Amino acid sequence: MVTIAQSPRCASLREFLVQDCEMAESLIDVRHLPKREAYRVLSEQLESVCADERDPVALMATIACLLHHGFGHLWTGFYRADGDRRLVVGPYQGSLGCMDIAIGRGVCGTAAAERRTMVVPDVREFPGHIACDARSLSEIVVPVIAPNGRVIAVLDIDSEALATFDDDDARALESMMSRYAPRLAGMG
Ligand code: SME
């Protein structure tokens, strides 16, 4: 794990990673950065690592890994749509995730059914919240919408702290999902 602020002499992230870490795959801890900058750094690394990748599982796994370790979240990963009724767990990092979630249930199923990002500052106040890990206190779920308009997955992130996520997270993660949605849907 590297902290990018420890090496400010490189102009670009790639230069930093290649010169200072000798590999573009080093994990970057962005917790000390302002949120927008943190997402910019991680998005740039994601582009660098995944530029030519088209495999949806490889992309989901890499997105989950970079976000999870970058921010030190409790759980970060995808639930994939399996037909119109259920989400099934996909690539993730963290503690054991629930295997499947009905569309329309919980935070994930609500985001998928309503096709919108859910920011939940306190999961105890979300009716029907599904607790895969009792340590989770706040959560954000962003739908992944394919070019044909179908919700093909949701990105779910859980935090051990209350009110971890806000509009900056929502906008940055929506932008990341919309950029990768064609490839995550196997249409890119
Ligand atoms: N809390 C989610 C379930 C998934 S876990 O957090 C990994 C929900 O209410 O949909």
Q: For residue range 95-127, list pLDDT tens digits in order.
A: 999 999 999 999 999 999 999 999 999 999 999
Residue with CA at minimum distance from ligand 1 atom 1: 130
Among protein residues, the one whose CA lies closest to atom 2 of ligand 1: 130
Beta carbon of 158 within 6 Å of any ligand 1 atom? yes
DSSP string for 53-65: ---HHHHHHHHHH
- Regarding the beta carbon of 137 and ligand 1, being less than 6 Å apart is answered no
Residue with the smallest CA separation from ligand 1 atom 5 is 132
Query: Does an H or E element contain 119, and which?
Result: strand 118-120
Q: Looking at the domain covering 2-184, what would its CATH class be?
A: alpha beta
Q: Are 176 and 43 in contact (CB under 8 A)?
A: yes
Q: Which residues, at least 6 apart from 98, have a Cβ–Cβ distance to it below 8 Å?
A: 89, 130, 132
How is 133-166 classified by DSSP, letter by letter?
A: STT--EEEEEEEE-TTS-EEEEEEEEESSTT---
123 C-alpha to ligand 1 centroid (Å): 9
Q: What is the pLDDT of residues 2-60, one digit of tens each?
A: 665 544 444 556 555 545 544 456 899 999 999 999 999 999 999 999 988 999 999 99
pLDDT of the residue at 188: 80
Question: From ligand 1's centre to the CA of 13, what distance in Å?
Answer: 33
Residue 140, strand partner residues: 119, 157
